Amino acid sequence: MTDSPKPTADHADTASTEAKSDSKVETRTVTADEADMRLDRWFKRHFPDVNHSYLQKLLRTGQVRIDGKRAETSSRLAAGQGVRIPPLAAWAAPVKGPSQGAGKPKGMSDKQIAELQALVLYRDADVIAINKPAGLAVQGGTGTSKHLDAMLDALRFDGKERPKLVHRLDKDTSGVLLLARTTFAASKLTELFRGSAVRKIYWAVTVGVPTPYQGKIDLALAKEGGPHGERVAENKEEGKRAVTVYSVQENVGKQAAFVAMWPLTGRTHQLRVHMAAVGTPILGDGKYAGQGAFLAGAEVAKKLHLHARRLILPHPRGGKTIDVTAPLPDHMQATWKYFGFSPNLRDDPFEDFE
């Protein structure tokens, strides 16, 4: 009896106990708009079901290669290179092109897909803007099973690529959220959000009235752990600089105010921590103000009253400006009506800010 030959690196995957698809070894060419992309991100784009550990296994055993050479998850790709794809596990289906049909996103009914698509405020060949509902997380995390990132195929429409996140909103914050429809747009938009070319205007109701009526809060913030999830706190020594410009639009005596805010930096929970720090927390923000975030006797929802009202930025391909406004969510509309605030204020309160 002779010994069975040991599987080589190129054939190790066939020895796996995982059921394989009917596909054969193929080579995919890196396109111009995928240049400088990390290999793991490229794989996520082409094979969204392939997780990090599975990809590492394929790379470690030499089954995935770039131009015939071994690679790592962090390897950067160049246009024209060939990526070797071995037969994958049956569950790791590739993304289908528009001519094949993108298919229905996993775990979503036709009704849920229609509801998500109804949130679209603006769409062109490169960009989609939606009105994110309060309560919907943008990305997954511990204890978060439902999130927008898992639903993005429902917003693909006729696009060749799956939409990509380029910024985020807190789970309990509603309003304008921008998505990139192409790798090119994702790269450009990411640069814009890192710079100062994007104007993000938020609307909020505060408990109490900030003084002065127009001002700037410059307070360094740092993340810290805690029993109730991620928190952010003032930290002058180790924190990152965070700057918020605000303007009181209307107020009800000293009880509450309708405040417009423009975060000049984009720190986690920045607006919430800044308003709490000056003694006028955002209505419903028990995380940062406890009971001080609620108005006793007021017939208003106890949800967070923070809304990404308007987003203004250059188009990623230049030549025009994207200017998108999102209507208030139901609970904030009810609060606006209760206090008699104007729901149609469109003028930019920070037009003259320098």
Active site residues: 170
121-160: burial string, b at 16+ Cβ within 10 Å, e else: bbbeebbbbbbbebebbbeeeeeeeeebebbbbbbbeebe
Sign of CA dihedral 198, 203, 207, 208: positive
- Could you tell me the end-to-end alpha-carbon distance of the chain, in angstroms, rounded to an integer? 84
Q: Are 274 and 257 in contact (CB under 8 A)?
A: no
Q: Are 256 and 208 in contact (CB under 8 A)?
A: yes
In the block, tokens 């720190």 appear at: 267
* Rounded CA separation 140/165 (Å): 12
Q: CA triplet 221, 223, 225: central angle to 5 degrees? A: 145
* Rounded CA separation 318/137 (Å): 30
Helices (H), 285-329: 286-289
